[in-house]
Structure 1
Amino acid sequence: MTDRKTITLADVAALADVSQQTVSRVVTGNGQVAAHTRARVNAAIAHLNYVPNRLAIGLARQRTYSVGFATTDLSLHAPSQLTAGIEQAAREAGYSLLVSIVAANGLSATTHTLRGLRERQVDGVLLNVSLDTADVLEVQRRFPGLPCVFMDVPIGTPVPAALLDQAHGARLAAEHLLELGHTRVAILDGPRHAVVESARHHAWRDALATHDLTPVAHLEGDWSPASGYAATLRLLAGGVPFTAILVANDQMAVGVLRALWERGLNVPADVSVVGYDDTPESALLIPPLTTVRQDFPTLGARAFAHLLNLLGTEDPHSLQVLTVPELVIRASTAPPSVERQSVQAALETLRAALAAHGG
């Protein structure tokens, strides 16, 4: 059996007709290299099937060239899409990604996960776990030497963060319904512990308040379609008149649409539904779902770039990176029908009269 020659940095440099230092800059991602030269080096690397010795590079630079991503349930849309965006950005920068699932909410589970990533000698961590300001600061206190970018904390928390402007997205959704003429709007929230959900909820209420309105009902789900279905059945059983519902994510909105269909209600003629996230399936639902688009792969890439800056020369307490969602209007929303508004107003008057007489 013939031994194969081990391809070296010098072989790549010779084929690309550049110096070994230039090849090193391309491989490590450190230093400026002209785009056409980088392309030539990468072509030589691919042709020779050169595999850089990351361990040697890491030892020389006191880095492992790996980062951790601590996140919640990957079966949910947001964590899975964030993982895709982060992994691609990390790979392009020459880093490997270690994904670790946080088993439960709260500081204790987060600490356990971060300790495990720290034991794997990651250079830094991206943390997609819902934490309030106090818990965020405690995480920094417990892991003072671990560069960390937070992805689910209140805007304004004095830590490095890459966030979506949840309040802005929620306002867009509520204002859309208000512009259509809806005045009886129900809210279906996600879990109460979620920081992002708190921001959306308050923005929904604030938008309604500008029109002297309050939600006619407030329910809570767990992000799953089943919880959206169950919450909508409870809402309908309660007899509270409503012409629209704001839903905290598209997966719960799937359950909402199912429950309304089973009860013979037409969307949007009887009830308008607005989701949040813009999952790939949202445009294929019946009817296609009006929703707030969050570009999670881009957010993941921006979060990784922010962490990469922290691993370089940037101040570890640098300002937050904020990404703005956008409203996608589809067929699940329309102005409320005059007939349905009249019927619901009559029902509301009857309910108030019964309540006043103890009925």
Structure 2
Amino acid sequence: MDQRPRLADVAARAGVSTASVSLVLRGAPGPSAETRERVLAAAADLSYRADRTASLLARRRRHLLGVLLDVRNPFHAELVEEVQIEAGRAGYEVVLSTLTRDRDEARALETLLDFRCEALILLGPDASDPALDELAAQVPCVVVGRPVAGADVDVVRPAEDVGVDAALHHLIDLGHSRITFVDGGRGAVAATRRRGYRRAMRRAGLVAEVLPGDHTEEGGVRAGRRIVAEHVLPTAVVASNDRLAVGVMDAFVRAGVDVPGQVSVVGYDDSTLARLAHIDLTSINQDAPAQARNAVQAAVSRLDGGRTRRLETVLVPHLVVRGSTGKPRPAG
């Protein structure tokens, strides 16, 4: 069994990221003098030697794009399919690395780095802007689905405020005024949608109500049960994503609350869940093919075209109206 120290072992000994270790050992700019000293000392202590075969491989074009995704997110599955198609057209192969219950973002990213992908496409990452900037110093990165302000990464994202506005305008035009939002948790995408809801409600002169949730069906069920337990039901619910919306609807069905007769429900992502006939969920469509196409083009233009300027592409989402929304029931 190979017991040679790995890049991750040096990073752990030095107390820095694997990206920083790689930059130091390659003599690349970025890390501070103190970081360089710690990394070199750790490498010496561990008798770390870079794999020469791997180094030679790294000098040749591999034409691999690494994709980070949440395996539990059906919208990510749609994006990956489109990314695979676009990458194939550009002459690239795709390596997938997934988030699961016991596999976090850092570990998933380390896998992509171990595969020596030439560029990374990150679907809705939760990493901080400084962490993304550090990653981008090692390999070109495209972030899909969320804004990034302080990192040298390319961004492809929907105009979330436009999407949330479309959902609320639809409900308000139907006559709804008591509209509850089920939150998507601590992630960057969820935070953007939450802010969009509060802003849109404030502009409409309505009272915002945000219920805690996460990005799962179970989180939606919990929120739905809490809504049912309230003395007065809202007339409409907007969920941060389709999985939450489906969970809310499940709780309503079990409690005998009619959708949309008593409460209208709107999701976000327009995933395959939303299109199922027995769910028939009104939802915000983000144009997965366009996001994938722009993400792959951004990566390839850096790798093949030599582009260095940061690129941000903002796409306009649109509302798809289905059977989960309708006019509110008259009071009394």
**Could you say which TM-score interval applies, normalised by the shorter chain?**
0.7 to 0.9
Deviation string 1:207-228 (CA, Å, 9 cap, x unpaired) is: 111121122x322333222321
Deviation string 1:80-105 (CA, Å, 9 cap, x unpaired) is: 11111111111222211111124579
Q: Alpha-carbon deviation of 1:298?
A: 3.0
What TM-score comes out, normalization by structure 1 length? Answer: 0.70
Q: Alpha-carbon deviation of 1:253?
A: 1.6
Residues 283 and 95 of structure 1: CA distance in aligned 2, closer, same or farther (over 3 Å): closer
1:64 aligned residue: 62
Letter in 2 for 1:91: G
Secondary structure at the residue paired with 2:238? strand
Contact 2:142 2:154 in 1 (8 A): yes
Counterpart check, 1:256 vs 2:248: yes
Q: Alpha-carbon deviation of 1:169?
A: 0.7
> 2-side partners of 1:113 and 1:284: how far apart?
31
Q: Alpha-carbon deviation of 1:172?
A: 0.6
- Aligned pairs for 1:37-56 (under 5 A) are none
Counterpart check, 1:120 vs 2:115: yes
Q: Alpha-carbon deviation of 1:234?
A: 1.2
Q: Alpha-carbon deviation of 1:257?
A: 1.7
> 1-side partners of 2:91 and 2:271: how far apart?
29
Which stretch of structure 1 is more off in the superposition, 282-291 or 240-249? 282-291
1:198 aligned residue: 191
1:176 aligned residue: 170
Residues 96 and 293 of structure 1: CA distance in aligned 2, closer, same or farther (over 3 Å): same
Count of aligned positions: 276
Contact 2:124 2:189 in 1 (8 A): no
1:90 aligned residue: 87
Secondary structure at the residue paired with 1:150? strand
1:232 aligned residue: 224
- Seq. identity, %: 29
> 2-side partners of 1:255 and 1:131: how far apart?
23
Q: Alpha-carbon deviation of 1:156?
A: 4.6
Secondary structure at the residue paired with 1:338? coil
> 1-side partners of 2:217 and 2:105: how far apart?
26
> 1-side partners of 2:188 and 2:228: how far apart?
28
Contact 1:131 1:152 in 2 (8 A): no
1:294 aligned residue: 286
What runs of 5+ residues in structure 1 fail to find an aligned partner?
Answer: 1-57, 344-359
Contact 1:173 1:246 in 2 (8 A): yes
What TM-score comes out, normalization by structure 2 length? Answer: 0.75
Residues 100 and 157 of structure 1: CA distance in aligned 2, closer, same or farther (over 3 Å): same
Q: Alpha-carbon deviation of 1:153?
A: 3.5
2:179 aligned residue: 185
Letter in 2 for 1:199: T
> 2-side partners of 1:125 and 1:60: how far apart?
15
Counterpart check, 1:208 vs 2:201: yes
Taking only aligned residues, the RMSD between alpha carbons, in angstroms, comes to: 2.6
> 1-side partners of 2:216 and 2:105: how far apart?
22
2:327 aligned residue: 335
Q: Alpha-carbon deviation of 1:327?
A: 0.3
Secondary structure at the residue paired with 1:198? helix
Residues 333 and 60 of structure 1: CA distance in aligned 2, closer, same or farther (over 3 Å): closer
